[in-house]
Structures are given as structure tokens and as C-alpha cells.
Chains A and B, each alone.
Chain A
């Protein structure tokens, strides 16, 4: 019974931002790896934005993908939001947040471009109101 309780405690939840127990060295390594990856992704983004080496229409997509990748790096290595069993609540909250973010940004762009497309040019509207 007490063994099982102990086991249960070992698998207790983690607060967001808390790492699983480890030595200072391993924690430091995590931050160093995160910083390295983040710098790599940032440098790639800035390089791609100003280069002629890649097909031009692919640049915006590449920048967005790199940004999403870098946000993932930050989440895992700096905020310690992982897919571990002790992190389920944090990940679910994040997933819900992302759903709302997607709805707000995607929905706004969709509706506004639709309105833009269907609306008369502004000078014609002004003339009709005279």
C-alpha cells in the first residue's frame, strides 16, 4: 500500500515551468540546448527573410513555420511544457488556448477578407449616401 502511494506520488503532476528532478548540470544543459536551437531558428528566419536563394513565394510560409517551431522550442526547453504524463493538465490548457487563438486570428482574417471582397469600393458607397 505505501509502496503504491509512493509510486503515485512519483507520478504526481508538475507545475508548469517546473522540471522533473535532475542535477544542476542537466537543467543547465536543457537551457543551453534551448538557447542554441532558438538562436539557430531565429538566425534562419532573419536569413530567409532577406535572401534571394529560395523561391520567393515560399518565404512567408517558411517564416511562419520557423516561428511555430521556435515557439515549440521555447515551450519545451524554457517553460518545460512537455507531453509527459505529469504534464497533461498544462498541455490541455495550452491546447484550448491555441484553439481560441486560432479561432480569433483565422476567423478575423476570413471574415474581413470576405467583407473586403464583397464590399463596394469606398468612393461608390460615399456617392450612394449623398
Chain B
């Protein structure tokens, strides 16, 4: 380094020290960028769900002489589904904690519990859909039932995709351990799973509880 550049560098650092409040330390860490990007995706997913909710809310009275929600919904089954999904959100949180301290046994146990709870949720929902179709209240019966099946079914599809992702993450942690890139995927998976639970809160409140109350 020449004297001139050295002097410049010193001058530069003195200058910086004088105005130290302006510190630019480069781009954010990969974990923040990935998490933020996935958060934006989740918000756009929620906006997509809001379109299904809007369609449902507009069509809820259009039963074409068919059954209303209050004649169809079995609130005990819905309460069980809600409990299963809430508990799975909790065990997913436990898996996040275990991943944070790199404890593989607890991580795999918590993820397995999340998977079982999610599958039980899907089984209950599948049973409900099957009984509706068997009663002649399938998605083709009325505009109300079309929008009901597309809204609740869309959530169910998300849960199914989430379970596939969950199994992938269990396998990846088993095969590759808690590498930084795996940890980022785990962060995104946890966000996805918790966001599904938030959407379910809207589903059981707007579709089932309001549908039965009114």
C-alpha cells in the first residue's frame, strides 16, 4: 500500500469515526433474507385464501334449495380437527426449539408427532367430506357447497403439502444433520405450518361457527 492510500484509509476511518451513527454492514444474513422472502410468499398465500373466503362469503346464501351449513356441519368433529391442528402447531414449535439446540432425537420425535397430528386432521376432514358427498351434499349441489369445498379443500391441500415437506425435512436432518441451509428450510417449514393454523382459525370461525350460528 502506498503512503497516499494509507493516509486516505486513515483519513477515511477518522471520518467514519466522526459519523459513526451511519454504519452500513452490508446485506442481511442469508437466514433473514430467506425467512423474509418466505414470509412474503406466505402473505401472498393468505391473500389467495382471502379470495376463497370472499367467494364463500358471497355465495354462502346461494344454496339452490339445498342444505344450509347449519344442517350439515358436525361441530364436534370440527372441534377435534381444531384441537389436532393446534397441538400440531405446538409440537412444530417444539421441533423448532430442538433444531435450535441441535438435539436430533427431540427434533425427530416432535416432527413425528406433528406429522401424526396432521394426518389425523386430514383423516377427520376426509371423513367429513365423504359423509357430505354421501348425503348428496357434494360440491356440485349448490354454489354454497362449491365454495365450501374449494375453501376447506384448499386448506386441506396445503396441510397435505405441509406433511410431505415435513417428511422431507425429517429425512434431510437425518441424512445431513443441522447444516445452515437445512436450518433455513426448517425455519420456512415452521412458518408455513403455523400460518396454516392461522388460516384454520379463520376457517372454523367463519365457515363452521358462523355457518352453524346463523
Contacts and interface: CB of A to CB of B under 8 A. Distances in A.
Interface residues of B, number: 60
A101 B47 contact: yes
B17 A78 contact: no
A46 interface: yes
Contact of A74 (B51, B190, B197, B213): B197
Task: Indicate the size class of the contact surface on chain A.
Answer: 35 or more
B53 A105 contact: yes
Given A24-B97, A35-B86, A74 B50 contact: no
Contact of A16 (B47, B191, B214): B191
Contacts, number: 150
Interface string B47-87: 10011011101100000000000000001000100110011
Interface of B: 13, 16-17, 20-21, 23, 25, 28-29, 31-32, 34-36, 38-40, 43-44, 46-47, 50-51, 53-55, 57-58, 75, 79, 82-83, 86-87, 89-90, 93-94, 96-97, 100-101, 187-188, 190-191, 194-195, 197-198, 201-202, 204-206, 209-210, 212-214
30 contacts: A1-B20, A4-B20, A5-B25, A15-B35, A15-B36, A16-B35, A16-B38, A17-B96, A27-B97, A32-B90, A38-B86, A42-B86, A45-B209, A46-B209, A49-B212, A50-B75, A59-B213, A60-B210, A63-B209, A67-B205, A74-B197, A79-B194, A79-B195, A96-B43, A97-B44, A97-B46, A101-B50, A104-B51, A104-B54, A109-B57
Given A60-B214, A71-B201, 18 more contacts: A4-B20, A15-B31, A15-B187, A24-B101, A28-B94, A42-B204, A49-B209, A49-B212, A63-B209, A67-B206, A74-B201, A93-B40, A96-B43, A101-B46, A105-B54, A107-B54, A108-B57, A109-B54
Interface of A: 1, 4-5, 8-9, 12-18, 24, 27-28, 31-32, 34-35, 38-39, 42, 45-46, 49-50, 59-60, 63-64, 66-67, 70-71, 74-75, 78-79, 89-90, 93-94, 96-97, 100-101, 104-105, 107-109, 112
